[in-house]
């Protein structure tokens, strides 16, 4: 069996998430269905993680395994895949990888961006969250500094979950201005808990509106309290933007559009 990395982007608006489900349209389901049709055998697509309903990805990664006899067909198949896929998914790279590679477990870091606009804009409504109040971004960035490093993020984790390890190491967390009315929260970590970024954004917006101080935000993080009633920001503004892997696991790039 040969293993391959697929890199792609998608607009999450009309999906119920990444992971295949009995009901609803999913990114994984679309990829598996179309690729299996093209290659005429069942293909399992394993993603780097799961995105929830309405969450987007400008860079998502998955891996597939194929029998040796299909190795000559995979690049043409992926070229054809872009023509078969609906317009809200697009493949940007096919790359050979070593047998030990795993899209989820080999990742060394992931990066998300959460986009907000301070003025209502119909053209941004699917990809930005509208925040109808003034925000103190200096205070929000002071709070972000407390996120850097290795922490227990239980205060920003889903309570009813089978996940018991809430430790994540954050290497980037900051709000950046894109235009007079548009900002993005960028965060990079070795791993993320489900809905963690949206929980962080919801709480950072409370810092920005003066409901809590940066120091109180730090205390919430430090308490690692699974019962903390955080406000979850809407999925609309969230994008998975990068997934990083050790170079030694990556092989030849076989396709780019």
Q: Is 127 annotated as a binding residue?
A: no
- Overall size of the chain counted in residues: 257
Determine whether 58 is exposed, middle or buried from the number of CB atoms within 10 Å of its CB (0-12, 13-18, 19+): middle
Torsion-angle region of 40 (φ positive above 0: left; ψ -120 to 50: alpha; else: beta): left
> Are 184 and 174 a contacting pair, CB within 8 Å?
no
Greatest distance between any 2 Cα atoms in the chain = 61
253: how many CB neighbours lie within 10 A of its CB?
13
Among 108, 176, 177, 167, which Cα is nearest to 144's? Answer: 176
The structure tokens listed for 242 are 């990068």
Distance of alpha carbon 81 from alpha carbon 78, whole angstroms:
5
Distance of alpha carbon 234 from alpha carbon 134, whole angstroms:
18
Tell me which of 52, 88, 152, 225 is the catalytic residue: 52
> Are 185 and 174 a contacting pair, CB within 8 Å?
yes
Distance of alpha carbon 58 from alpha carbon 93, whole angstroms:
12
Q: Is residue 72 flagged as an active site residue?
A: no
For 182-236, where are the E strands, in sequence order?
182-189
List, as residue ranges, the binding site.
112
Indicate which residues carry an active-site annotation. 52
List, as residue ranges, the binding site for substrate.
112
């Amino acid at each position: 069996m040969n293993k391959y990395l697929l890199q792609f982007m998608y607009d999450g608006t009309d999906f119920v998430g990444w992971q295949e489900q009995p009901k609803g349209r999913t990114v994984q389901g679309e990829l598996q269905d179309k690729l299996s049709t093209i290659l005429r055998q069942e293909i399992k697509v394993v993603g780097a993680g799961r995105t929830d309903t309405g969450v987007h990805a400008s860079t998502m990664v998955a891996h597939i395994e194929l029998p040796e006899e299909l190795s000559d067909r995979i690049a043409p198949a992926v070229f054809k895949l872009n023509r078969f896929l609906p317009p809200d998914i697009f493949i940007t790279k096919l790359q050979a990888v070593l047998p030990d590679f795993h899209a989820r477990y080999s990742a060394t870091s992931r990066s998300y961006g959460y986009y907000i606009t301070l003025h209502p804009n119909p053209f941004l409504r699917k990809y930005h969250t509208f925040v109808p109040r003034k925000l103190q971004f200096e205070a929000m960035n002071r709070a972000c500094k407390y996120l850097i490093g290795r922490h227990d993020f239980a205060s920003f984790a889903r309570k009813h979950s089978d996940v018991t390890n809430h430790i994540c190491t954050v290497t980037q967390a900051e709000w950046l201005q894109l235009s007079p009315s548009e900002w993005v929260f960028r965060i990079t970590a070795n791993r993320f808990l489900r809905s963690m970024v949206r929980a962080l954004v919801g709480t950072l917006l409370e810092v920005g509106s003066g409901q809590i101080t940066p120091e109180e935000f730090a205390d919430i993080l430090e308490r690692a309290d699974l019962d903390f009633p955080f406000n979850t920001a809407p999925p609309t503004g969230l994008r998975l933007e990068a997934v990083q892997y050790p170079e030694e696991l990556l092989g030849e790039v076989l396709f780019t559009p």
